């Protein structure tokens, strides 16, 4: 099979790495890819949102399966366009990707189908939103409706903060039309966990759990980032928790989307808060998480291409996922200054020594290949990942690898996995 992988992050590198292991695969193209993907596949210079360009390429090259990494092309409807032309593509159609593309859609859907989530109100003008805020108790969460590159959620401790968030989103329009509507919802307390499922529109399989580290600094301090590290499984996601999330979230979403006439195919990512009232949904993504995927996929033993093919063809019934019992930890190395301003073009050294490591992998995100050199080209640069006999061992090996990789002004958190270590004796759902 010929495969086209769309995207350029660590998530897409781990997907490429895994897909390359499939005996079904002859050739892999990545659009646009990155420095790491360029070492194992052929990169083509097409933007992930250039749907006409990607379609033309897939037709010319007779691509058998296209895999979409990021949310933007899904929300723009790339799956509908490819399927109309008879091309196989892994991911949800535009109407189903609304679960991520519109928080208003997702909240109304959850409300309709009784899926546990924070109580909320929807506003389409700033005056009504601010009137509501004067009558509210804090903290509260203000969210822009549409895609905002992970920056559209503001946790507000005071009325002033909330008014400011409403102004920025609705008056200054910092997220443009993504802020035409907002959600104001209760602030939930608890620990977060990511539960991903793969669906074919009717059947689904639940993947192993993972936990992200969204803040830039140790101990979850500082501004939010795309994710500074992850581990899988998340000890907090016990068998009982996974079972509850499956019954109360995954199953009703898949059934509800079918009932709405917009079946959900692809990856359903439920961002869950473990509250005193049980698991509640913070958000849905309609794709693999980044960096969660770097921690989950190295543990998957099944052929990923077979699974993705099964999702496209409605054949995920009877599929059983097989997992490496070893936990996996991914430490993100970023450019100094990220998530604010940072410099790029720094040479990365020390990468070659891990080429033959059987349990450690360096997944590239913001990198590019220039001649024989690998240079930094983004905020999150590398996902240094290791399996381990236990979490402690995985953390130790990942950080030993990190210490051997160098680039100017590199930054990483030193506490990835620490939360998992504090919860001993639980090994996910195995």
Per CB under 6 A, residues contacting ligand GLY are: 212, 227, 285, 289-290, 292
Binding partner of residue 22 among ligand AMP, ligand GLY, none, CB cut-off 5 to 8 Å per kind: none
Binding partner of residue 289 among ligand GLY, ligand AMP, none, CB cut-off 5 to 8 Å per kind: ligand GLY
Pick the closer one to ligand GLY by CB: 224 or 344.
Answer: 224
The residue assigned the tokens 């690898």 is 401
Give the separation between CA 269 and CA 305, rounded to whole angstroms.
19
Binding partner of residue 185 among ligand AMP, ligand GLY, none, CB cut-off 5 to 8 Å per kind: ligand AMP
Q: Considering only CA atoms, which of 112, 127, 122 is closest in space to residue 143?
A: 122
Pick the closer one to ligand AMP by CB: 64 or 212.
Answer: 212
Q: Please state the closest distance from residue 71 (CB atom) to ligand GLY, in A.
A: 8
Q: Please state the closest distance from residue 71 (CB atom) to ligand AMP, in A.
A: 11
- Rg (C-alpha) for the chain, rounded Å, is 21
Q: Please state the closest distance from residue 159 (CB atom) to ligand AMP, in A.
A: 17
Give the separation between CA 158 and CA 134, rounded to whole angstroms.
10
- Give the three-class secondary structure for 12: helix
Pick the closer one to ligand AMP by CB: 65 or 99.
Answer: 99
- Residue 141's contacts (CB-CB under 8 Å, 6 or more residues apart) are 118, 153, 154, 155, 156, 183, 184, 185, 186, 187
In eight-state DSSP terms, residue 197 is: E
For ligand AMP, the binding residues (CB under 6 A) are 118, 141, 153, 155, 185, 187-188, 192, 214, 271, 282-283
Q: Please state the closest distance from residue 37 (CB atom) to ligand AMP, in A.
A: 26
Binding partner of residue 290 among ligand AMP, ligand GLY, none, CB cut-off 5 to 8 Å per kind: ligand GLY
Q: Considering only CA atoms, which of 179, 172, 120 is closest in space to residue 152?
A: 179
What is the enclosing helix (H) or strand (E) of 31?
strand 27-32
Q: Please state the closest distance from residue 315 (CB atom) to ligand GLY, in A.
A: 27
Q: Considering only CA atoms, which of 24, 22, 76, 37 is closest in space to residue 54?
A: 76
Two structure tokens written together for 203: 């059947």
Binding partner of residue 292 among ligand GLY, ligand AMP, none, CB cut-off 5 to 8 Å per kind: ligand GLY
- Residue 105's contacts (CB-CB under 8 Å, 6 or more residues apart) are 98, 99
Pick the closer one to ligand GLY by CB: 15 or 55.
Answer: 15
Cis peptide before 339 (omega within 30 of 0): yes
Binding partner of residue 418 among ligand AMP, ligand GLY, none, CB cut-off 5 to 8 Å per kind: none
Pick the closer one to ligand GLY by CB: 193 or 242.
Answer: 193
Binding partner of residue 192 among ligand GLY, ligand AMP, none, CB cut-off 5 to 8 Å per kind: ligand AMP
Strands of the 42-43 sheet, one edge to the other = 42-43, 27-32, 2-7, 65-68, 89-90
The residue assigned the tokens 């994710």 is 227
What is the enclosing helix (H) or strand (E) of 410?
strand 410-411
Pick the closer one to ligand AMP by CB: 153 or 319.
Answer: 153
Pick the closer one to ligand GLY by CB: 48 or 292.
Answer: 292
Pick the closer one to ligand AMP by CB: 34 or 225.
Answer: 225
Binding partner of residue 227 among ligand GLY, ligand AMP, none, CB cut-off 5 to 8 Å per kind: ligand GLY
Q: Please state the closest distance from residue 190 (CB atom) to ligand AMP, in A.
A: 8
The separation between CA 233 and the C-alpha centre of its own chain, rounded to angstroms, equals: 15
Pick the closer one to ligand GLY by CB: 22 or 285.
Answer: 285
Q: Please state the closest distance from residue 149 (CB atom) to ligand AMP, in A.
A: 10
Two structure tokens written together for 67: 């895999």
* Residue number, nearest CB to ligand AMP: 283
User: What's the start-to-end Cα distance of the chain, in Å?
Assistant: 33
Q: Please state the closest distance from residue 267 (CB atom) to ligand GLY, in A.
A: 10
Give the separation between CA 383 and CA 172, rounded to whole angstroms.
35
Q: Please state the closest distance from residue 291 (CB atom) to ligand AMP, in A.
A: 14
């Amino acid at each position: 099979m010929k495969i086209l992988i769309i995207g350029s992050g660590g998530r897409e590198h781990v997907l490429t790495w895994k897909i390359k292991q499939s005996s079904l695969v002859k050739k892999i193209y990545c659009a646009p890819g990155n420095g790491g993907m360029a070492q194992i596949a052929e990169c083509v210079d097409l933007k992930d949102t250039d749907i006409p360009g990607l379609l033309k390429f897939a037709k010319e090259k007779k691509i058998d399966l296209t895999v979409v990494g990021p949310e933007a092309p899904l929300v723009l409807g790339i799956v509908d366009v490819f399927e109309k032309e008879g091309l196989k593509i892994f991911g949800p159609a535009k109407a189903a990707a609304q679960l991520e593309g519109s928080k208003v859609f997702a909240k109304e859907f959850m409300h309709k189908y009784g899926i546990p989530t924070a109580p909320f109100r929807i506003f389409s003008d700033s005056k009504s939103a601010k009137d509501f805020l004067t009558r509210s108790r804090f903290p509260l969460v203000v969210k822009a409706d549409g895609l905002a590159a992970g920056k559209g959620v503001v946790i507000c401790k005071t009325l002033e903060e909330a008014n400011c968030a409403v102004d920025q989103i609705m008056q200054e329009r910092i997220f443009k039309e993504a802020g035409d509507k907002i959600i104001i919802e209760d602030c939930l307390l608890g620990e977060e966990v990511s539960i991903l499922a793969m669906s074919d529109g009717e059947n689904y399989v639940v993947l192993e759990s993972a936990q992200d580290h969204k803040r830039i600094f140790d101990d979850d301090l500082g501004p939010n980032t795309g994710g500074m590290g992850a581990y899988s499984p998340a000890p907090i996601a016990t068998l009982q928790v996974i079972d509850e999330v499956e019954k109360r979230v995954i199953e009703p979403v898949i059934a509800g989307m079918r009932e709405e006439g917009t079946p959900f195919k692809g990856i359903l990512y439920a961002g869950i808060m473990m509250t005193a009232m049980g698991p509640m949904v913070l958000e849905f993504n309609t794709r693999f998480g980044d960096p969660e995927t770097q921690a989950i996929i190295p543990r998957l033993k099944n052929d990923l291409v077979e699974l993705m093919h099964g999702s496209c063809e409605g054949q995920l019934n009877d599929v059983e996922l097989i997992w490496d019992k070893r936990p996996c930890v991914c430490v993100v190395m970023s450019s100094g200054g990220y998530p604010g301003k940072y410099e790029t073009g720094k040479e990365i050294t020390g990468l070659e020594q891990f080429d033959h490591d059987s349990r450690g992998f360096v997944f590239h995100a913001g990198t590019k290949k220039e001649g024989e050199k690998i240079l930094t080209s983004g905020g999150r640069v590398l996902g240094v990942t290791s399996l381990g006999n236990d979490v402690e061992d995985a953390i130790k090996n990942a950080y030993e690898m990190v210490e051997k990789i160098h680039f100017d002004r590199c930054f990483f958190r030193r506490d990835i996995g620490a939360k998992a270590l504090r919860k001993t004796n639980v090994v996910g759902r195995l």
